[in-house]
Structure 1
Amino acid sequence: MELGWLLWGAAVLLLLHVLMELSPAVNFAVRIGFYCLLCLVSSGLTAPVCLIVNGGRSVKNMKIIKNVLKTFKYLLGVRFEVKGLENFNVEGPAIIVSNHQSILDMMGLMEILPDNCAQVAKKELMYTGSVGLIMYLGGVIFINRKSTSSAKMVMSEVAKTMASDKVKVWVYPEGTRNCTGDLLPFKKGAFHLAVQAQVPVIPVVYSSFTTFYDPKKKLFTSGKIKVEVLPPIETKGLTSDDIADLTDRCFHTMRETFLRLSGRPSPREAKDSS
């Protein structure tokens, strides 16, 4: 009886492997399903550890969560090439801004996340089962993107927390996932926060995922992600009148880096070659 179940299991796995090789759609669905299952199971197993070690919600739990999630890359065949980690070595709090491409960003985030750093995420993620629970325990700051007044209140509290607890805050200024192969215009919330708290902005850029991950094409294979942490941009002395310029400066610097890391010509290079 047990041998029969083993044979059936082996046959199913073999069939699944063949279908994954023949159909990109099946391969995509299986790999995404596996990734989501990894997130749910690992979050459920890690939550009790966070409760025991740190007693509840704390940004210190991110050290535990990071060590667990960093193993995902080996299971999914994703490699990281990282430069500029020394740029995180600023005294006191800072705002970290990065591009936001897909659900795989969590792996990229955990690959380089500095100590004592909280992330800002949409409130809906808090209700995603064990994943929402582990994010809560890790000190993630949830904002309601549909309510501007609510989001502003939360960000104002974040500024106070940065000053009192000396934490860094990670924000995705595009505001939503973007797997188009370029950057979306930046929202100004993170830059308002940086100027309000008079803390530096540290840009982080991940290369495009589209060579190995593209939901529209049902593509999900192994691949390499290049990551670059750029030098901090100081905000001391800046006022609300400087926020638009700060936002544009950061956007253009990050976009040029994104295109370079992704092996694409920058607008300046394209213009020179034409």
Structure 2
Amino acid sequence: MELGWLLWGTAVLLLLHVLMELSPAVNFVLRIGFYYLLCIVVSALTVPVCLLVNGGRTVKNMRIIRTVVRTFKYFFGLRFEVEGLEHFKVEGPAIIVSNHQSTLDMMGLMEVLPDDCVQVGKKELMYAGTVGLVIYLGGVIFINRKSTTSAKMVMAEVAKTMATDNVKVWVYPEGTRNCTGDLLPFKKGAFHLAVQAQVPVIPVVYSSFTTFYNPKTNLFTSGKIKVKVLPPIDTKGLTSDDVSDLTERCFRTMRETLFMLSGNPSKAKDSS
């Protein structure tokens, strides 16, 4: 009986392997399905660890979550090449902004996430089962993107949290996922927050995923992701009148870096 189950299991695995090789659609569905399953199972196992170690919701839990998620890359054949981590070593709070490409960004985030850093995420994530629970315990600040009033109130609370808890805040200024190999126009909330709190903005750029991940074409293979942490942009002395210029400056710098990291130097030159 045990031998029979073993043979059946082997046959199923071989069949799935053949289908993944022959069909990009099957390969994509199975890989992304495994990714979601991994997130659910691992978060369920991590929740009690966070509660036992730190007792509840605190940014300190991100150290545990970061350690666990950093193992995900080995399941999917992803390699990270990181440059500029020293730029995170600024005294006091800061706003960290990065490009936002796909659901896989969580792996990239945890690869470089500094200590004492909270993320701003969409409110819908709160209801994502065990995943929502574990990131809640990690101190993620949830924002209702559909309500401008609510978003402003949350940002005001974030400013207060930065000052009282001395933490950095990670924001995706594009506001939504964008896997096109370019950047969407930046929303100004993060930059208003930086100017209001008079804290530096630290840009982080991930190379384009399009060479190994593209849901539109059912592409999901192994690949290398280049990450560059750029020098902090000082906001001391800036006012609300300077927010537009600050936003545009950050956008241009990050876009040029994105093209360079992704192997498109001609586009980088055009964007500067």
Taking structure 1 as the reference length, what is the TM-score of the superposition? 0.98
Q: Which amino acid aligns with 1:32?
A: I
* Distance apart, 1:270 and its partner CA: 4.7
Match of 2:47 in 1: 47
* Distance apart, 1:265 and its partner CA: 2.7
Match of 2:248 in 1: 248
SS in 1 for 2:265: coil
Q: Distance in 1 between matches of 2:271 and 2:152?
A: 39
Aligned 1:27-46 pairs, distance under 5 A: 27-46=27-46
Q: For the structure 1 residues 268 and 11, does the alpha-carbon distance in structure 2 shift closer, same or farther, using more than 3 Å as the test?
A: closer
* Distance apart, 1:123 and its partner CA: 0.2
Match of 2:239 in 1: 239
Q: Distance in 2 between matches of 1:22 and 1:172?
A: 36
* Distance apart, 1:4 and its partner CA: 1.2
Match of 1:191 in 2: 191
* Alpha carbons 2:259, 2:267 under 8 Å: kept: no
Match of 2:15 in 1: 15
Match of 1:78 in 2: 78
Q: For the structure 1 residues 266 and 256, does the alpha-carbon distance in structure 2 shift closer, same or farther, using more than 3 Å as the test?
A: farther
Aligned 1:8-157 pairs, distance under 5 A: 8-157=8-157
SS in 1 for 2:224: strand
SS in 2 for 1:145: coil
Give % identity.
81
* Alpha carbons 2:205, 2:258 under 8 Å: kept: yes
Match of 1:209 in 2: 209
SS in 2 for 1:205: strand
Match of 2:262 in 1: 262
How many residue pairs align between the two structures?
272
Deviations 1:186-233 (A, max 9, x none): 000000000010000000000000000000010000000000000000
SS in 1 for 2:93: coil
Moved over 4 A (4+): none
Taking structure 2 as the reference length, what is the TM-score of the superposition? 0.98
Q: Distance in 1 between matches of 2:53 and 2:26?
A: 40
Q: CA RMSD in A?
A: 1.2
Aligned 1:164-175 pairs, distance under 5 A: 164-175=164-175
SS in 1 for 2:75: helix
* Alpha carbons 1:256, 1:266 under 8 Å: kept: no
Q: Distance in 2 between matches of 1:266 and 1:164?
A: 45
